[in-house]
Structure 1
């Protein structure tokens, strides 16, 4: 691919990944195939993608300000701590192991998250108190952050599904929290990948600029979209991602 064409292709793909990633949690639907398209190997695309999409969280949370800590501040802090720990474990697992068998279960994890989103109203009514499920929230964030540090595709939709099922947050706040937690776990993993992984730094920077811009534009878009149809659209998109991950 011509270097100039590649530059604008990665920039556009990054913006699309940033906007779609913030709104739906499916950034990798755009970013991962784009990285493969410019010639990166699957492993290099995986780690470069993790570095690039850190900018989505930076762009979206930078614009959010104090809204990040509105509501249950303690839960948010616990989620941040779980994201750091999970990101470290996931990155270490990827860097220290050559076994790709974990990727076999990835489509099923994404599909479960998508189905949970589609069934969210019913699942939320199964419990009478969101406070009683704080331990489930922290454990869920930890597990998803491990997965996010290891592979990452679909991690956003998993966190979003978790937030909507085990907390009482509205969709716009759950989406914002998702970006925060995923951004933290990605950042931790990205540091490790930059030091020890096969990151294509130039590609990561170019796509990261686009991701930042897309993430910056995300919060006002979500606030204006109807919650019900958006949740269903995200769920269907998650199922499509699960199928793609399963057959690729």
Structure 2
């Protein structure tokens, strides 16, 4: 019973992290691998298990959604769903080695942009500014990444929106959580149909229950954090996950 308990606790932590600032994958995936699941199966199980937690967080934020720049909420969500499905399809048909090698560099880039994007916008005198088409194209590629692996995709989203529109982390958090749920939801459909995610039902259930509890509680906590504190949580998560990935590599 120790293994399901470990996975349950990892699910709580992952759901809360995703609701507060992102990085839940970096708790969920190692925990599943540690109890004996192959990495690809663990990746699919973690994605399926984290969906209800992400949906619970999105429900808490449902009245606080605001468009990102000139892109409507419906358009952004639709493109996230499509991107998530494409990414999940790539995970099922392509080897993970080459993309996995790029993950630390993607995280490092996201961390730098998240840390200095607002300073760059200030230096320019205003945010860079993006058209609706540019935002949707960027969101599609983020959705592909989210469906394929998903580690720190929320950090990447806030980095993109921050440098493009000067969007504050706290103001963008409700939309980040909602888009995360959209990406994971479409990926989950494919994983349930075509992966081995259901071969570990006890572990899947334990992580799912934990993620729902963590996601619901984390969303309520995030709403009470100041913009500066939330930004600190995001940067800490970004730096930690990036360093861990480089050390792992």
Q: TM-score, normalised by structure 1?
A: 0.89
8 Å CA contact 1:61–1:68 kept in 2: the answer is no
* TM-superposed deviation, 1:76: 1.6
Which whole-Å CA distance do the structure 2 matches of 1:238 and 1:28 have between them? 12
User: Paired residue for 1:100?
Assistant: 97
Say if 1:182 and 1:203 are closer, same or farther in 2 by CA, change over 3 A. Answer: same
C-alpha separation in 2, matches of 1:102 and 1:123: 29
User: Could you tell which deviates more after superposition, 82-91 or 166-175?
Assistant: 166-175
Partner residue, 1:17:
14
Superposition deviation, residue 69 in structure 1:
4.6
Equivalent of residue 145 in structure 2, options 105, 125, 147: 147
Partner of 1:43: 40
Q: Which residue of 2 aligns with 1:213?
A: 213
Equivalent residue pairs, number:
245
Change beyond 3 A, Cα 1:201–1:162: farther
Q: 2:71 touches 2:132 (CA, 8 Å); kept in 1? A: no
Alpha carbons of 1:198 and 1:127: their partners in 2 closer, same or farther (altered >3 Å)? farther
Taking the aligned partners of 1:6 and 1:151, their CA distance within structure 2 comes to 23
Deviations 1:42-98 (A, max 9, x none): 111111111111122111011223222578795222211110111121111111112
The residue number in structure 2 matching 1:57 is 54
Structure 1's 198 and 171: CA in aligned 2 closer, same or farther, altered over 3 A?
Answer: same
Deviating more after overlay: 64-73 vs 216-225:
64-73
Q: TM-score, normalised by structure 2?
A: 0.89
Partners of 2:66 and 2:73 within 8 A in 1:
yes
Aligned residues: CA RMSD: 2.1
With over 3 angstroms needed to count, the CA separation of the structure-2 counterparts of 1:150 and 1:219, relative to structure 1, is same
Point out where structure 1 has 5 or more consecutive residues left out of the alignment: none
1:160 to 158, 161, 166: 158
The CA deviation at 1:239 is 2.3
The equivalences for 1:172-187 within 5 A come to 172-187=170-185
Structure 1 residues 214, 73: closer, same or farther in 2, change over 3 A?
farther
CA contact (8 A) 1:86 1:143 kept: yes
What pairs up with 1:103-114 in 2 under 5 angstroms?
Answer: 103-114=100-111
Q: Retained in 2: the 8 A contact 1:56–1:179? A: no
* Paired position in structure 1 for 2:231: 231
Query: Contact 2:170/2:230 (CA < 8 Å) preserved in 1?
Result: no
Q: Deviations over 1:165-216 (max 9, x none)?
A: 2235442331111111111111111110111112133322221111111111
The separation in 2 between residues aligned to 1:170 and 1:102, in whole angstroms, is 30
Q: CA–CA distance in 2 between the matches of 1:28 and 1:202?
A: 19
Q: Which moved more, 1:228-237 or 1:174-183?
A: 228-237
Distance 1:71 1:42, change over 3 A: closer
